[in-house]
Amino acid sequence: MSIAVSETLPDAQGHFGQYGGRYVPETLMYPLQQLEAEYFRAQHDPEFQAELTYYLRQFVGRPTPLYLAERLTRELGGAKIYLKREDLNHTGAHKINNAMGQILLAKRMGKTRIIAETGAGQHGVATATVAAMFGLKCVIYMGQVDCERQALNVYRMKMLGAEVVSVTAGQKTLKEAVNEAMRDWVTNVRGTHYILGTAYGAHPYPVMVRNFQRIIGDEARRQILEQEERLPNLLIACVGGGSNAIGLFYPFLGDEGVKMLGVEAGGEGIIPERHAARFQGGSLGVLQGTRSYILQDENGQIQLTHSVSAGLDYAAVGPEHAWLRDEGRVEYGYATDDQALNAFTKLARLEGIIPALESAHAVAAVIDRAPKMSKDDLIIVNLSGRGDKDVAQAAQKLGLKLPV
């Protein structure tokens, strides 16, 4: 597949082949068209790009390092492993790349209020952060279950001045938070911008979020060429909605020799309602604005999901990923809760880096793949976030106790 093919997508209506599009209530159609028009104007506006670059450098701390994981490489005995350190961004994950882009867009559109959904809380924290920075009112929707398992991030959002609304509908996780954010948006659309946090939803969100996140891949590509003078053999990233993965993959799509692996949440194994691996147990459907793979029952009701990681615990996957899978360009696998927890510990002990449980799914895939590859091969894994938020939950799962 040539880069030209992927650069022509999505089409004018936001379709990636049969995926994507814009499936929303009429009230949101015109606001989405306005957002699309403003985004594409901003994308080609050097002033906007310069402002974004400035804040990404001076506030977020970009570029993030591409770090050779020496002990992990030695331990696994195969391919050389590089970590793209998105965990070192201000606020602790890749989410701020997109939040920063969208807040500048919101400002440009004269919006005075910001809303967002969040699962693990990283996108909520990133959004609350940029809203505080620019003095905009901010409301974050978060499932009640996620509020409990990611309590640290709830406190962070509140400290940053955001209102956090705990969503008690359905299974009380990310999907319900998105529903509630969309209900808010449809009610307050004239003055409010919805900073959707992943490469999902109605057009233009999937393409816009991808383009704000492609800085991960753009940097990684430049860095690996500087450090190794060649391209990697394999890219690995975890896939919830899929923003960190598409951000890393996108700039490499035209590089034929670079293989790519997206890792979904296998939960307790591929049993209905016990996982969140849409490409394993899902089927084609339409949810929350877009057409993609979703976990649903035979009547079209959305199924329950499970993952140890709140950020991957979601019933649908970004439409561009569904398209890349059909094209055979990206392979999608999964890691279970146990494999992710094992990777979480391993990276901490071998590299001194505690990853987010989401990113630990990608590291689990590295543990599986690296030993099967040659020592001359290169892997880049996206360490999309850091694990501070997961410490309490992981300690419980791993049976760690405080000294008495």
Partner 1 sequence: MNRITERFARLKKDGQKGFIVYIGAGDPNLEATRELALAFDQAGVDVLELGVPFSDPLADGLVNQLAAQRGLESGTTPVKVMETVAAIRKKSQIPIVFYIYFNLMHRHGLEKFINDAAKAGVDGFLTLDLPPEESDNYEALMAKAGLAVIYLVAPTTPDERIELIVKRGTGFIYYVSREGVTGMQQKVADTIGEMTAKIRAHTDLPIAVGFGISNPEQARTVAASAEAIVVGSAIVNQIAQHGKSSDLVPKVIEFTSSLIKATKR
Helical pair 151-159 and 122-134, crossing angle rounded to 10 deg: 10
Nearer to partner 1, 15 or 95 (CB): 15
* CA gap 243, 211 in Å, rounded: 10
Q: Examine residue 285 and tell whether it contacts partner 1 (CB under 8 A).
A: yes
Residue among 95, 172, 175, 346 flagged as catalytic: 95
Residues 26-65 that bind partner 1 (CB under 8 A): 26-31
175 assigned to active site: no
307 assigned to active site: no
Coil, helix or strand at residue 150: coil
* CA gap 200, 320 in Å, rounded: 9
Nearer to partner 1, 30 or 54 (CB): 30
Coil, helix or strand at residue 63: coil
163 assigned to active site: no
Coil, helix or strand at residue 162: coil
Q: Examine residue 307 and tell whether it contacts partner 1 (CB under 8 A).
A: no
Q: Examine residue 83 and tell whether it contacts partner 1 (CB under 8 A).
A: no
Would strands 19-23 and 66-68 be described as parallel, antiparallel, or unpaired?
unpaired
Nearer to partner 1, 151 or 286 (CB): 286
Residue among 6, 86, 111, 117 flagged as catalytic: 117
Cα dihedral 20→356→127→205 (10° resolution): -10
Helical pair 205-213 and 215-228, crossing angle rounded to 10 deg: 30
Q: Examine residue 179 and tell whether it contacts partner 1 (CB under 8 A).
A: yes
Nearer to partner 1, 170 or 269 (CB): 170
Q: Where are the beta strands (DSSP E) in 239-277?
A: 259-267
Q: Examine residue 110 and tell whether it contacts partner 1 (CB under 8 A).
A: no
Residues 14-33 that bind partner 1 (CB under 8 A): 21-31
User: Taking the complex as a whole, how short is the minimal distance between the CB of residue 370 and partner 1, in angstroms?
Assistant: 39
User: Taking the complex as a whole, how short is the minimal distance between the CB of residue 302 and partner 1, in angstroms?
Assistant: 5
Q: Which two tokens stand for residue 100?
A: 């920063």
Residues 346-365 that bind partner 1 (CB under 8 A): none
Burial label for 226, CB within 10 Å (0-12, 13-18, 19+), is: exposed
**Contact mark string toward partner 1, 136..175, x via CB under 8 A:** ---------------------------------xx----x
Asked, as a colleague might, if the bond just before 10 is cis with ω within 30 of 0, I would say yes
Which uninterrupted H or E stretch holds 47?
A: helix 46-55
User: Taking the complex as a whole, how short is the minimal distance between the CB of residue 303 and partner 1, in angstroms?
Assistant: 8
Positions in the binding site for partner 1 (CB under 8 A): 13, 21-31, 169-170, 175-176, 178-179, 182-183, 186-190, 283-289, 291, 294, 296, 298-302
The residues that are catalytic are 95, 117, 384
